[in-house]
Structure 1
Amino acid sequence: MPDTALRSFDITFENNMDVFQAGQIVKGQVELELDQDMKMRLVEAGIQVILKGEAWCKWNENVSRNESVTFFSREHYFQDAKILWAPSQEKNNYNPVLPAGKYSFPFQYQLPSSGLPTSFESEYGRVRYSVEAIIDQPRGKPDKKFKRVFTVLDMYDLNEDPNAMTPSTAKGSKTIGMLMFTSDPIEVDVKTDRGAYCPGEVVRLSGTITNGSGTDIRHTTVQLIQMATCVGSGQRMCFENQTRTKYESKTLSEVKTMAGCKAKSSADLSGAGIALPIPAVPPSVKRYCGIVGVEYMIKFIVNIPGLHKNLEVELPITIGVIPLRTYYPQSPSFPQHPVDQPPQYAEGPPPPYYAVATPAKIEKDQADRGAECLGPKEYVPKYAYYDWNGKQP
Structure 2
Amino acid sequence: MPDSPLRNFDVTFENNMDVFQAGQVIKGQVELELSEDMKMRLVQAGIQIVMKGEAWCKWMEKVSRHETLTFFSREHYFQDAQILWAPSQEKTNYNPVLPAGKHSFPFQYKLPSAGLPTSFESEYGHVRYSAEAIIDQPRGKPDKKFKRIFTVLDIYDLNEDPNAMTPSTAQGSKTIGILMFTSDPIEINVQTDRGAYCPGEVIRLSGTINNGSGTDIRHTTVQLIQMATCVATGKSDMGPMGNYTRTKYESKTLNEVKTMTGCKAKSTADLSGAGIALPIPAVPPSVKRHCGIIGVEYKVKFIVNIPGLHKNLEVDMPITIGVIPLRTYYPQAPSFPLHPGDQPPQYTEGPPPPYFAVATPAKIEKDQADRGADCLGPKEFVPKYAYYDWHGKQP
TM-score range, shorter chain: over 0.9
Which of 261, 280, 285 does residue 259 from structure 1 map onto?
261
CA distance 1:216–1:93, shift in 2 (3 Å): farther
CA contact (8 A) 2:58 2:73 kept: yes
* Residue aligned with 1:4, SS: coil
- Distance in 1 between the 2:368 and 2:331 partners? 44
Q: Does the aligned pair in 2 maintain the 1:53–1:77 contact within 8 Å?
A: yes
Deviation at 1:125, TM superposition (A): 1.0
1:238 and 2:241 are equivalent in the alignment: no
CA contact (8 A) 2:288 2:294 kept: no
Show the 5 A alignment for 1:1-393.
3-92=3-92, 94-239=94-239, 240-358=242-360, 359-366=362-369, 368=370, 372-393=374-395
Q: Cα 1:371–1:84, aligned 2, differ >3 Å: closer, same or farther?
A: farther
Separation in 1, partners of 2:4, 2:119: 36
CA contact (8 A) 1:118 1:285 kept: no
Deviation at 1:92, TM superposition (A): 3.0
Q: SS of the residue aligned with 2:325?
A: coil
How far the C-alpha of 1:89 sits from its partner, in A, is: 1.1
Distance in 1 separating the partners of 2:300 and 2:25: 36
What are the Cα deviations for residues 55-87 of structure 1, in whole angstroms up to 9, with x where unaligned? 010011111222211110000001110001111
Shift of the 277–93 alpha-carbon distance from structure 1 to 2, 3 Å rule, reads farther
Judged with a 3 Å threshold, the aligned counterparts in structure 2 of structure 1 residues 179 and 237 are, in CA distance, closer, same or farther, namely farther
CA contact (8 A) 1:172 1:312 kept: yes
Query: Any idea what the Cα deviations from partners look like across 1:252-287, whole Å, max 9, x if unmatched?
Result: 000001111001111000000000000000011320
Indicate if the aligned counterparts of 1:360 and 1:379 stay in contact, CA closer than 8 A. Answer: yes
Give the secondary structure class of the aligned counterpart of 1:314. Answer: strand
Q: Percent identity?
A: 83
For these two proteins, the number of residue pairs brought into alignment is: 392
TM-score, normalised by the number of residues in structure 2: 0.97
Residue type at the aligned position of 2:168: S
Q: What is the deviation of 1:317?
A: 0.2
RMSD: 1.4
Point out 4+ residue stretches in structure 1 off by more than 6 angstroms: none
| CA gap 1:202/1:39 in 2 versus in 1, 3 angstroms | same
TM-score (norm 1): 0.97
Identify unmatched segments of 5+ residues in structure 1: none
Q: Which moved more, 1:155-164 or 1:138-147?
A: 138-147
Distance 1:149 1:370 in 2: 17
- Residue 370 of structure 1 deviates from its aligned partner by 6.4
Return the letter of the residue paired with 1:378. E
Q: Is the 8 A contact 1:9 1:31 kept in 2?
A: yes
